[in-house]
Amino acid sequence: MILGLFPELSAAGGVQRAGRLTAAVLASFAEERGERCVFLSLIDPQGTLPLRIGSREIAFTGFGRSKGPFLWAALRAAFMGPSLVVAFHPNLAPVAAAMKMFSPRARVITFAHGVEVWTPLNPLRRWSLQRSNLVLAPSTDTVRNLVTQQGVAEERVRKLPWSLGPEFDPEVTLCAAPRIPDGFPGGCIILTVGRWDAGEAYKGVDHLIMALPLLPDGAPEVHLVAIGGGSDMPRLVQLASQCGVERRVHFLPFLKPEELSSAYDFCGVFALPSRGEGFGLVFLEAMSHAKPVIGGAHGGTPEIVEDGVNGYLVRHGDVAQLADRLQRLLTSETLRRRMGAKGREKILRDFTFTRFSGEFTALLRGLLAS
């Protein structure tokens, strides 16, 4: 049996989307080996739930944030002698470590994502992470923090960048006839996508709002569309009012995949000037639509955004620099097209689901053969 432990699978968000990619590969790998595959999700609603990734439908069990039943289900699975346990977040590493006590032959893989490993974890999580057979990270920056901040042995860490999913095929994206999402404004659009929680204010949506008044007046008028939601929304709405740009800042809820695809089609520039991205799947999505991107010059973003090639990197908090890079792109269609084409080339070369699936499967085979 192959067992996957996930914090959450069905919701929006980069970690959740990456979890779905991982679940798809694990399900295919288990099928190839003739093994059963079981997925447990701590946060998703209680019960057996369906999950569709591309053309594949997978069942998983949600526990509605009930930690006791989640742990008990994992320990019961341990007595069935799983060959592989995958913990999709360092916070779940202690559960995988407990399972290994009852099933010593099981191999354990733990995934790390970014900001959660920038500072030392609590002793139990750190100890459990260090004892994983393999720890996977999406960027060189996260690999470095696993070694320096968490004390994981270098030989146990591998870099495995995320990709677009099979349902986000770049070839299909540009050929589809887009429809303007409800609430989408006219004019020249700066798009950003994410979870706007108070604990994730580092994503820089506030800096995009503050940059708007610094952009020169022009026709068409420049608007910021922020797709997502979270506990930081009241502050962001108030900031837009204080900056005098509330009419040009549009907050839209999380969209269905086809609506989000259209939002990328209708924007001029995608921007997420964050200081805390371990990777940034939203950059890949924008690049698949041949859009130039602006990201923070921190974390894992520089491994996706090549400054001056497929977009720009900016210092977190430097609103003047952010406004300058936005102006360069918004005033030159030639520059937008050139950078967008470079981004799409990078997607097709480095970030396909076929590449991710092949690399991850090779790591799984190697681990179980060792």
> Where on the phi/psi map is residue 218: left (φ > 0), alpha (ψ -120 to 50), or beta?
beta
In the predicted model, is pLDDT for residue 57 greater than 70?
yes
Question: According to the model, what pLDDT value does residue 255 have?
Answer: 86
Predicted pLDDT at 258: 83
Is the Cβ–Cβ distance between 299 and 275 less than 8 Å?
Answer: yes
Paired residues of 102 in beta bridges: none
Angle of the 353-369 helix axis to the 14-33 helix axis, nearest 10: 60
Q: What residues contact 210, with CB distance under 8 A and at least 6 apart? A: 239, 243, 319
CA–CA gap between residue 322 and residue 318 (Å, rounded): 6
Region 233-255 average pLDDT? 95
Question: If pLDDT is split at 50, 70 and 90, which confidence band does 179 have?
Answer: confident
Q: What is the structure's pLDDT at 246?
A: 95
185 vs 266: CA distance, rounded Å: 10
Residue 295 has pLDDT above 60, yes or no: yes
Query: 27-46, pLDDT tens digit by residue?
Result: 999 999 999 999 999 999 99
With contact defined as beta carbons under 8 Å apart, do 360 and 352 qualify? no
pLDDT band at 219; cut points 50, 70, 90: low
Residue 301, amino acid: T
3-state SS class at 297? coil
> What's the mean pLDDT in 208-226?
91
Is pLDDT of 170 > 80? no
| DSSP 3-state of 126 | helix
Using CB atoms within 10 Å of the CB of residue 97, give its burial: 0 to 12 exposed, 13 to 18 middle, 19+ buried. Answer: buried
Residue 252 confidence (pLDDT): 94
Q: Locate the domains of the chain by residue range.
A: 2-163+352-369, 169-350
CATH number for region 169-350: 3.40.50.2000
Question: 2-163+352-369 has which CATH code?
Answer: 3.40.50.2000
- Average pLDDT of the chain to the nearest whole number: 93
pLDDT of residue 176: 53
* Fold match flag (2-163+352-369 vs 169-350): yes
pLDDT band at 53 (very low <50, low <70, confident <90, very high): confident
pLDDT at residue 21, rounded to an integer: 94
Q: What is the value of pTM for the model shown?
A: 0.91
Residue of 216, 189, 194 whose CA lies nearest to 205: 194
Is the pLDDT score of 2 beyond 70? yes
Q: Would you state the pLDDT for residue 12?
A: 82
What does the pLDDT average to over 75-82? 95
